[in-house]
Structure 1
Amino acid sequence: MPIQIVETQRLYRQISEQLRALIRAGEFPAGTRLPAERELSVQLGVSRPSLREALIALEVEGYIEVRMGSGIYVSDPLPAAAGSDLSSEEAPLELIMARSLIEGEIAAQAAKLGKKRDFDAIEEAIDTMEADANAGKKPLDADRLFHVRIAEATGNSALVGVVRRLFDARLGPLFDQLHSHFETSDVWAQAIAEHRAVLKALRTKDPAAARAAMQTHMEIAYKRLTSSLTKAPKNPATKGAKQASGKAAAKPAPARKATARSR
């Protein structure tokens, strides 16, 4: 038998596999409501952000569904098999933390080294993002361009490549599903305002302010994506109505003692 490479499994996958096994074993029966995230994270001995990532993975695979104003339920019927291969996906919340550290420093360098033409190009990306959002179009391309152009302002092609890879890592089904629970026109408007705050710091050639503005932008995204999954968004204009809060309430699943390694 050939020797196989041992891979370290991402924590959210360890948690999702344990929950999937419990669901398949009937510990959390089809149609029942899972315990609240706070309670479930205590039962599993993991952080709530890691649990959030695991639950989103199970939602992508079709094992659970999130119902606004009601809770998180085990799907009925259960899927025959997992519908998506998430093995190569980065954990969305870890990705945001990594971007905060890396892109914060890149913004500081851009403020120090960038020229007016670089900042004008960054502003052009923000204006395009705003126009797309106002037209009801998801402004992801312009969002990506904003972050890439900040890296380009440093004159370092390696940093440009890093930013491209970091942004593109958020384009998979896991991050997309998590973001879909919070995506509204108000959220995009706030992101655009945060981008303009970064640009203001860049134009004043203030590295510390640019770093702080970029990290604040990422911290706001992190807080939003770790807020309640089942609370209806304030402005659902761009949010799909997949979850029906009017569905009949199901019996909550029983409390379950389980273990998983904490983040």
Structure 2
Amino acid sequence: MELKSVQPRRLYHLIGDQIRAYIATNHLSTGDRLPPERDLALQLNVSRPSVREALIALEIQGVVEIRMGAGVFVRSIAPVPDALRDKIGDSPSDIMQARSAIEGCVASLACARLTDQGLARLQALVADMRRAIAQGASPVEADRQFHICIAEIAQNAVLTRLVGELFDERHAPIAQKLRMQTENASTWSAALVEHERIVGALCARDPLEAQAAMRSHLRASEARWVGSLISGR
């Protein structure tokens, strides 16, 4: 018998398996409503954000349908191909926690190596974000360049690569689905204010404040990104 590689299971996959088992065990059919998110979290002994990620993954797979303000409903009871399950992406919560750990340290390092040129570039990127938001456009590219710029100021090529790779995880299917439902002018405006605080801490050459400002920003981003998607649930 040929051995196959063992793939680590993402938490939202495990929760999704439990929800599919619940659908089967309770003989739910297309159109039936699932229990509220808070009840699922309590029964599974996991956080509500983890349940939200699992439900988003199941929606991508065609198992459930999330109706804003109404709840989550069974869409299909057909098996989900492994190939589809494996292409959804990493947990957005895990990504943001990793970014907070790495980029907090990056911001601290950048304080000691910030030049007038680097500061001017950061300020220009903040201005680009502000302009895009005012025009109703997405400031995502300026946002990406802002975070990469700080890593470049820290003068560490490995960290710069990691910052870019983690940021680009937002294009994975599960992250993209969340972004479509949570990003708007209001959330981007909040992120802009947080970017301004980061720049202020860097300008003051305060490594502890820069680290705190970056981690605060990414924790707030996580809360906005993996916030409640189902009203009243």
Whether the 8 Å contact between 1:62 and 1:83 is mirrored in structure 2 is no
Whether the 8 Å contact between 2:183 and 2:225 is mirrored in structure 1 is no
- In the other structure, the counterpart of 1:117 is 117
Whether the 8 Å contact between 1:16 and 1:55 is mirrored in structure 2 is yes
CA shift for structure 1 position 74: 1.9
Question: Any idea what SS the aligned residue of 1:120 has?
Answer: helix
Whether the 8 Å contact between 1:108 and 1:210 is mirrored in structure 2 is yes
Which residue identity does 1:29 align to in structure 2?
Answer: S
Question: Which residues in structure 2 correspond to 1:229-240 (within 5 Å)?
Answer: 229-231=229-231
- In the other structure, the counterpart of 1:174 is 174
Whether the 8 Å contact between 2:148 and 2:160 is mirrored in structure 1 is yes
Runs of 4 or more, structure 1, over 3 Å off, are 21-28, 77-84
Alpha-carbon distance in 2 for matches of 1:43, 1:162: 36
- In the other structure, the counterpart of 2:86 is 87
Percent identity, aligned pairs only, is: 37
Q: Deviations over 1:35-72 (max 9, x none)?
A: 11111012223222221211110111222222222222
Question: Which residues in structure 2 correspond to 1:1-263 (within 5 Å)?
Answer: 1-23=1-23, 27-75=27-75, 85-88=84-87, 89-231=89-231
CA shift for structure 1 position 114: 1.5
Q: Structure 1 residues 153 and 169 mapped into 2: Cα distance closer, same or farther (>3 Å)?
A: same
Alpha-carbon distance in 2 for matches of 1:213, 1:207: 10
TM-score by length of 1: 0.80
CA shift for structure 1 position 125: 1.6
Whether the 8 Å contact between 2:16 and 2:57 is mirrored in structure 1 is yes
Alpha-carbon distance in 1 for matches of 2:80, 2:94: 27
Name the Cα RMSD after superposition: 2.2
Which residue identity does 1:131 align to in structure 2?
Answer: R
CA shift for structure 1 position 226: 4.0
Question: Any idea what SS the aligned residue of 1:95 has?
Answer: helix
Unaligned runs of 5+ in 1: 233-263
Q: Structure 1 residues 102 and 18 mapped into 2: Cα distance closer, same or farther (>3 Å)?
A: same
CA shift for structure 1 position 141: 1.2
Deviates more, 1:178-187 or 1:16-25: 16-25
Deviates more, 1:154-163 or 1:80-89: 80-89
CA shift for structure 1 position 98: 0.9
TM-score by length of 2: 0.90
CA shift for structure 1 position 25: 5.9
